[in-house]
Amino acid sequence: MLKIFLRRLVCATIIGIIGICIQCYFIILSDTYYKTGDEPLKDRLHEIFKEIPAFMNTPFVNGSIMFFLAITLLRFGLFCPLLLSITILIRIILMLSFIYCIRSFFIYVTTLPCPIPTCQPLKHKTLVENLYTFYLIITAQVYECTDLVISGHTAFTTLLTFFWFFYERNIYVKTTIFLYSIYIYIIIIISRFHYTVDVLMGYVFGGSVFLFYHYLVDVAARRYALNTSVFPQVYK
Protein backbone atom coordinates (compact mmCIF):
# COMPACT_ATOMS: atom_id res chain seq x y z
CA MET A 1 0.00 0.00 0.00
CA LEU A 2 2.81 2.41 0.88
CA LYS A 3 4.49 1.80 -2.48
CA ILE A 4 1.28 2.76 -4.28
CA PHE A 5 1.08 6.05 -2.38
CA LEU A 6 4.75 6.79 -3.03
CA ARG A 7 4.24 6.20 -6.76
CA ARG A 8 1.31 8.59 -6.69
CA LEU A 9 3.49 11.13 -4.90
CA VAL A 10 6.19 10.82 -7.57
CA CYS A 11 3.60 11.25 -10.35
CA ALA A 12 2.09 14.26 -8.56
CA THR A 13 5.55 15.79 -8.17
CA ILE A 14 6.21 15.42 -11.90
CA ILE A 15 2.86 17.04 -12.65
CA GLY A 16 3.72 19.82 -10.20
CA ILE A 17 7.04 20.53 -11.90
CA ILE A 18 5.29 20.67 -15.28
CA GLY A 19 2.67 23.08 -13.89
CA ILE A 20 5.34 25.38 -12.46
CA CYS A 21 7.30 25.39 -15.73
CA ILE A 22 4.17 26.20 -17.74
CA GLN A 23 3.40 29.13 -15.45
CA CYS A 24 6.98 30.45 -15.62
CA TYR A 25 6.95 30.27 -19.42
CA PHE A 26 3.70 32.20 -19.74
CA ILE A 27 4.94 34.80 -17.26
CA ILE A 28 7.93 35.41 -19.53
CA LEU A 29 5.66 35.61 -22.59
CA SER A 30 3.34 38.08 -20.86
CA ASP A 31 6.26 40.23 -19.70
CA THR A 32 7.38 40.69 -23.31
CA TYR A 33 4.22 42.77 -23.89
CA TYR A 34 4.89 45.06 -20.93
CA LYS A 35 6.72 48.36 -21.18
CA THR A 36 8.43 49.89 -18.16
CA GLY A 37 6.65 53.06 -17.09
CA ASP A 38 3.10 52.00 -17.98
CA GLU A 39 0.71 53.63 -15.52
CA PRO A 40 -0.56 51.19 -12.86
CA LEU A 41 -4.27 50.54 -12.46
CA LYS A 42 -6.21 52.50 -9.87
CA ASP A 43 -6.49 50.50 -6.65
CA ARG A 44 -8.27 51.69 -3.52
CA LEU A 45 -5.98 49.94 -1.02
CA HIS A 46 -2.88 51.07 -2.90
CA GLU A 47 -4.22 54.62 -2.62
CA ILE A 48 -4.61 54.21 1.15
CA PHE A 49 -1.12 52.74 1.57
CA LYS A 50 0.72 55.06 -0.76
CA GLU A 51 4.17 54.24 0.58
CA ILE A 52 5.49 50.68 0.68
CA PRO A 53 7.11 49.97 4.07
CA ALA A 54 10.82 49.33 3.64
CA PHE A 55 10.66 45.88 5.24
CA MET A 56 7.85 44.68 2.94
CA ASN A 57 10.10 43.45 0.17
CA THR A 58 10.07 40.21 -1.82
CA PRO A 59 11.96 38.11 0.78
CA PHE A 60 9.60 39.31 3.53
CA VAL A 61 6.40 38.39 1.67
CA ASN A 62 7.75 35.08 0.37
CA GLY A 63 9.20 34.28 3.80
CA SER A 64 5.81 34.80 5.45
CA ILE A 65 4.20 32.39 2.99
CA MET A 66 7.03 29.84 3.27
CA PHE A 67 6.66 29.92 7.05
CA PHE A 68 2.97 29.11 6.59
CA LEU A 69 3.90 26.22 4.29
CA ALA A 70 6.51 24.95 6.77
CA ILE A 71 4.12 24.80 9.74
CA THR A 72 1.48 23.18 7.51
CA LEU A 73 3.87 20.44 6.39
CA LEU A 74 5.08 19.93 9.97
CA ARG A 75 1.53 19.70 11.33
CA PHE A 76 0.16 17.29 8.76
CA GLY A 77 3.45 15.54 8.05
CA LEU A 78 4.53 14.66 11.59
CA PHE A 79 1.25 14.53 13.49
CA CYS A 80 -0.92 12.56 11.06
CA PRO A 81 -0.85 8.91 9.94
CA LEU A 82 1.78 8.40 7.22
CA LEU A 83 -0.65 7.56 4.42
CA LEU A 84 -2.84 10.55 5.26
CA SER A 85 0.24 12.81 5.27
CA ILE A 86 1.23 11.56 1.81
CA THR A 87 -2.35 11.99 0.59
CA ILE A 88 -2.48 15.59 1.81
CA LEU A 89 0.85 16.38 0.14
CA ILE A 90 -0.35 14.83 -3.13
CA ARG A 91 -3.54 16.88 -3.00
CA ILE A 92 -1.64 20.11 -2.35
CA ILE A 93 0.66 19.47 -5.32
CA LEU A 94 -2.13 18.50 -7.72
CA MET A 95 -4.35 21.44 -6.82
CA LEU A 96 -1.48 23.90 -7.09
CA SER A 97 -0.54 22.44 -10.48
CA PHE A 98 -4.08 22.94 -11.73
CA ILE A 99 -4.16 26.51 -10.42
CA TYR A 100 -0.80 27.34 -12.01
CA CYS A 101 -1.87 25.97 -15.40
CA ILE A 102 -5.17 27.86 -15.42
CA ARG A 103 -3.71 31.15 -14.22
CA SER A 104 -0.99 30.87 -16.87
CA PHE A 105 -3.70 31.32 -19.50
CA PHE A 106 -5.14 34.34 -17.63
CA ILE A 107 -1.69 35.91 -17.28
CA TYR A 108 -0.93 35.61 -20.98
CA VAL A 109 -4.21 36.68 -22.58
CA THR A 110 -4.38 39.98 -20.67
CA THR A 111 -1.21 41.85 -19.74
CA LEU A 112 -1.93 44.19 -16.85
CA PRO A 113 0.39 47.09 -16.00
CA CYS A 114 2.63 46.35 -13.04
CA PRO A 115 1.71 48.02 -9.71
CA ILE A 116 5.35 49.13 -9.60
CA PRO A 117 5.87 51.25 -12.78
CA THR A 118 9.68 50.97 -12.65
CA CYS A 119 9.57 47.19 -13.01
CA GLN A 120 11.91 45.74 -15.64
CA PRO A 121 10.10 43.00 -17.63
CA LEU A 122 11.59 39.59 -18.30
CA LYS A 123 12.76 38.80 -21.82
CA HIS A 124 11.91 35.78 -23.95
CA LYS A 125 15.27 34.29 -24.96
CA THR A 126 16.75 30.92 -25.91
CA LEU A 127 15.60 27.66 -24.32
CA VAL A 128 18.58 27.47 -21.97
CA GLU A 129 18.23 31.12 -20.94
CA ASN A 130 14.50 30.65 -20.38
CA LEU A 131 15.17 27.62 -18.18
CA TYR A 132 17.56 29.73 -16.13
CA THR A 133 14.86 32.40 -15.87
CA PHE A 134 12.50 29.67 -14.62
CA TYR A 135 15.01 29.03 -11.84
CA LEU A 136 15.20 32.74 -11.01
CA ILE A 137 11.39 33.01 -10.89
CA ILE A 138 10.99 29.92 -8.70
CA THR A 139 13.67 31.09 -6.27
CA ALA A 140 12.23 34.64 -6.24
CA GLN A 141 15.43 36.24 -7.52
CA VAL A 142 13.58 38.29 -10.15
CA TYR A 143 10.40 40.36 -10.07
CA GLU A 144 7.79 39.38 -12.66
CA CYS A 145 6.04 42.52 -13.87
CA THR A 146 2.86 40.94 -15.24
CA ASP A 147 2.38 37.95 -12.92
CA LEU A 148 -1.05 39.33 -12.05
CA VAL A 149 -4.81 38.76 -12.73
CA ILE A 150 -5.08 35.84 -10.26
CA SER A 151 -2.68 36.06 -7.33
CA GLY A 152 -0.71 32.83 -7.10
CA HIS A 153 0.52 33.81 -3.64
CA THR A 154 -3.08 34.24 -2.51
CA ALA A 155 -4.33 31.02 -4.12
CA PHE A 156 -1.46 29.11 -2.49
CA THR A 157 -2.18 30.67 0.91
CA THR A 158 -5.90 29.95 0.51
CA LEU A 159 -5.25 26.27 -0.25
CA LEU A 160 -3.14 25.91 2.88
CA THR A 161 -5.78 27.72 4.94
CA PHE A 162 -8.53 25.44 3.67
CA PHE A 163 -6.43 22.37 4.51
CA TRP A 164 -6.23 23.60 8.10
CA PHE A 165 -9.98 24.25 8.18
CA PHE A 166 -10.72 20.83 6.67
CA TYR A 167 -8.27 18.61 8.58
CA GLU A 168 -7.59 20.46 11.86
CA ARG A 169 -10.04 20.04 14.75
CA ASN A 170 -8.77 22.62 17.24
CA ILE A 171 -10.88 25.76 16.86
CA TYR A 172 -8.19 27.99 18.39
CA VAL A 173 -5.62 26.77 15.89
CA LYS A 174 -8.09 27.38 13.06
CA THR A 175 -8.71 30.92 14.30
CA THR A 176 -4.97 31.62 14.46
CA ILE A 177 -4.48 30.26 10.94
CA PHE A 178 -7.37 32.38 9.66
CA LEU A 179 -5.88 35.55 11.14
CA TYR A 180 -2.44 34.71 9.75
CA SER A 181 -3.89 34.16 6.27
CA ILE A 182 -5.58 37.58 6.45
CA TYR A 183 -2.22 39.05 7.39
CA ILE A 184 -0.62 37.47 4.31
CA TYR A 185 -3.37 38.79 2.02
CA ILE A 186 -2.85 42.29 3.40
CA ILE A 187 0.94 42.34 2.97
CA ILE A 188 0.57 41.00 -0.58
CA ILE A 189 -1.54 44.06 -1.42
CA ILE A 190 0.45 46.65 0.54
CA SER A 191 3.77 45.44 -0.89
CA ARG A 192 2.37 45.93 -4.43
CA PHE A 193 2.86 42.26 -5.27
CA HIS A 194 -0.70 42.34 -6.60
CA TYR A 195 -3.72 44.53 -7.04
CA THR A 196 -6.57 44.01 -4.57
CA VAL A 197 -8.71 42.37 -7.26
CA ASP A 198 -5.90 39.86 -7.92
CA VAL A 199 -5.97 38.84 -4.26
CA LEU A 200 -9.77 38.56 -4.24
CA MET A 201 -9.72 36.42 -7.38
CA GLY A 202 -6.89 34.32 -5.95
CA TYR A 203 -8.94 33.65 -2.83
CA VAL A 204 -12.08 32.71 -4.76
CA PHE A 205 -10.17 30.59 -7.26
CA GLY A 206 -8.05 28.81 -4.64
CA GLY A 207 -11.06 28.08 -2.45
CA SER A 208 -13.14 26.88 -5.40
CA VAL A 209 -10.42 24.49 -6.56
CA PHE A 210 -10.08 23.06 -3.04
CA LEU A 211 -13.82 22.52 -2.61
CA PHE A 212 -14.31 21.09 -6.11
CA TYR A 213 -11.37 18.70 -5.73
CA HIS A 214 -12.69 17.36 -2.43
CA TYR A 215 -16.18 17.11 -3.91
CA LEU A 216 -14.77 14.85 -6.63
CA VAL A 217 -12.90 12.82 -4.01
CA ASP A 218 -16.13 12.41 -2.04
CA VAL A 219 -18.05 11.31 -5.14
CA ALA A 220 -15.33 8.79 -6.03
CA ALA A 221 -15.31 7.42 -2.47
CA ARG A 222 -19.09 7.01 -2.47
CA ARG A 223 -19.04 5.18 -5.81
CA TYR A 224 -16.25 2.91 -4.61
CA ALA A 225 -18.16 2.11 -1.41
CA LEU A 226 -21.33 1.44 -3.43
CA ASN A 227 -19.57 -0.85 -5.90
CA THR A 228 -17.77 -2.86 -3.23
CA SER A 229 -21.00 -3.33 -1.26
CA VAL A 230 -23.31 -4.17 -4.20
CA PHE A 231 -21.28 -6.25 -6.65
CA PRO A 232 -20.09 -8.89 -4.15
CA GLN A 233 -23.74 -9.59 -3.37
CA VAL A 234 -24.62 -9.82 -7.07
CA TYR A 235 -21.99 -12.46 -7.76
CA LYS A 236 -22.74 -14.59 -4.69
Per-residue pLDDT of the chain (236 residues; tens, 9 = 90+): 788 889 999 999 999 999 999 999 999 999 999 988 888 999 999 999 888 888 888 889 999 999 999 999 999 998 889 999 999 999 999 999 999 999 999 999 988 899 988 889 999 888 899 999 999 999 888 888 988 989 999 999 999 999 999 999 999 999 999 999 999 999 999 999 999 999 999 999 999 999 999 999 888 888 877 777 655 554 44
Q: pTM of whole model > 0.75?
A: yes
Domain residues of the chain, as ranges?
2-231
At 125 the pLDDT is 87
CA pair distance 136, 154, nearest whole angstrom: 20
Around Cβ 229, how many Cβ atoms within 10 Å? 9
At 117 the pLDDT is 87
At 96 the pLDDT is 94
Question: What are the backbone dihedrals phi and psi of residue 191, each rounded to the nearest 5 degrees, phi first?
Answer: -75, -5
Q: How far is CA 107 from CA 28, 119, 152, 198, in A?
A: 10, 17, 11, 11
At 229 the pLDDT is 63
Angle, vertex CA 196, rays to CA 194 and CA 198, nearest 5 = 60
77, HSE (Cβ side, Cα atoms, 13 Å): 9
What lies within 8 Å, CB to CB, of 53 at 6+ separation is 190, 191
Amino acid present at 163: F
- Residue 39 DSSP label: P
At 230 the pLDDT is 54
